[in-house]
Chain A
Amino acid sequence: MAEGKTKRRAPPRRRRGEAATEADVVARVLRAHADGDYAARVDVGAIRDPVLAGLAAVVNVAAEQARVRQDEVAARMEAVRLGVDEAIDAMVRLVVQGDLTGSLRLAVTDAALTPLIAGVGQVMETLKRFVTEIREAAIQLSASSAEVLAAATQNENSTAQQATAVHETTATMEELKGASHQIAENAQTVATIAAETLAATQQGEQAIRAFMESMEKVRHNAVEVDEAIGKLSRRVERIGTVVEVIDEIADRSDLLALNAALEGAKAGEAGRGFSIVAQEMRRLAENVMESTREIKNLIGEIREATHAAKEASDGNKRMAADGERLGGAAMSSVMGILAGAQGTSDAARVIHLATQQQRSATEQVVQSMGEIESVTREAQAGSRQATGAAAELARLAERLAAMVQRFRVE
């Protein structure tokens, strides 16, 4: 392939294979152009085909024009690049130095850079405006963030105090719940004891009634015993009377026997038999008197026994009467106690129910306080976060203010 300048010559006569080869040459140059190599040329003089030669010439012209254009574009692009770079450098310098008071001045002047310059100017104006607004906003933001920080700090303190108060209240409610549990248990115990006391009092009433009935029976029995003792005493007295008669008879018999013996003794031998009979009679009388003495002794013992029995019976009657009286007093007391025990049992039952309700309510309150405490802790954490965020915001505001402070807009 021939490079550089082209020169027109009369195309030589060629054969068919040579046409294909010339087309390839043209194709290769076109491919090089497609690849961006506009320096590639077709040697027109080497092409015999007039059409191809014409085409080759056109290709060469197009390539030349493209190259020129490319060079021009490249030059402009370079200029623009330089201008952009300059603009960027100028903007960077402006931004770095923070001087937004002037305008952009470029060493490279190109019409293509006019929009850029205009845009940059707008950017600078916009930037100036932004900086001014940001500065004002930074100032306001700094002030507001300080207020927010103060409010957040106060809120955090208040939340901390609230959390402390809630915690103390929760602890107090826990103690109250424990006390309520104990009270409820004690109330249950009291109710149970009151019920047992009531039952025992009722049993006591029954026992006293049974006791009074027994006393009545004892008194009745004592009266019967008294009557029996009276009958016995009367019979014993009758026996004593009979024994007195027998004793009198025995005494008289003894006396008679003595007189008989006396007369028999006086009669001497003639009265011997009489004396013997008198002696036997006296012995009989002595036996009778001995028996009557024994009977009298027995009667005396019976009298003593009946007297003792009578006294015992009288004592029993007195004790039965005392027992009835005491039983009546005890019954009155027990009835009073029973009424009191009934009232106590009822009151204890009511108290037990109330304490159960109180315990349930206390447990609910404790649960609610626990939830409140959890929420409070979350709020406290949120307050701390808010305070932290407010502090961070204040720092950011300060940083922003410091950042925009270095920009001069006037």
Chain B
Amino acid sequence: MSPGLPLLLFQVGARVFAAPAADVRRIGGSLVERPEEAVPDTALGRPWDARRGLVVDGGDGAERTVLVDGVLGLRAAEGDELVELPAFARDVISTRALAGFARIDEVPTLVVDLPALVRERRDGEAAPDREETNRHG
């Protein structure tokens, strides 16, 4: 993660995450033209309302829409606000889609690699364990 990275803040359930804005092609509504493109359930958890969808590259030439509860906005993270994920955390966390932390308004916020998250989901590498995710979050 480089300083000045524009991050898109979004909410899944009660938790707020961040993702590089460049990874998001567009932001859509909850209705998806093709249901097979929707990703309602990820390692981040299952959204409550799924009012928004983050359209990302699915990795197979198709777009995928990660359903989230809401998009909170865009923030440009400065250098000291971005923290790489520690090695031991990378080892213990089941998903590989976490890029690090961003300190947003003094609150540590996970930075998610959405395309990787979509690929994981597609490949079935990480089963969404909400309890474990909540514990690490």
Could you list which residues of chain A lie within 8 angstroms of chain B, going by C-beta atoms?
Answer: 251-252, 255, 258-259, 261-262, 265-266, 275, 282
Contact = CB atoms under 8 A, between A and B. Distances in A.
Contact of A265 (B29, B51, B52, B76): B76
Interface in B2-48: 6, 8, 21-22, 24, 26-29
B73 A265 contact: no
Contacts of B102: none
Contact of A255 (B21, B24, B27): B27
Contact of B28 (A255, A265, A275): A255
Nearest to B24: A262
25 contacts: A251-B29, A251-B51, A252-B29, A255-B27, A255-B29, A255-B52, A258-B27, A258-B73, A259-B26, A259-B27, A261-B73, A261-B74, A262-B8, A262-B21, A262-B24, A262-B26, A262-B27, A262-B74, A265-B21, A265-B74, A266-B6, A266-B21, A266-B22, A275-B74, A282-B73
Contacts of A282: 73
A275 to B, nearest CB: 7
Contacts of B8: 262, 265
A258 B6 CA distance: 13
Most B Cβ at <10 Å: residue of A251, A258, A275: A258
A261 B71 CA distance: 12
- What are the 8 closest A-B residue pairs judged by CB atoms, nearest first? A265-B6, A265-B21, A258-B27, A265-B74, A261-B74, A259-B26, A259-B27, A258-B71
Interface of B: 6, 8, 21-22, 24, 26-29, 51-52, 71, 73-74, 76
Nearest to B10: A258
B29 to A, nearest CB: 6
Contacts of B24: 262
Contacts of A252: 29
Contacts of A262: 8, 21, 24, 26-27, 74
A142 B137 CA distance: 155
Given A258-B27, A262-B27, 6 more contacts: A251-B51, A258-B73, A261-B73, A262-B21, A265-B6, A282-B73
A394 to B, nearest CB: 141
Nearest to A286: B73
Contacts of B71: 258
A361 to B, nearest CB: 101
Contacts of B26: 259, 262
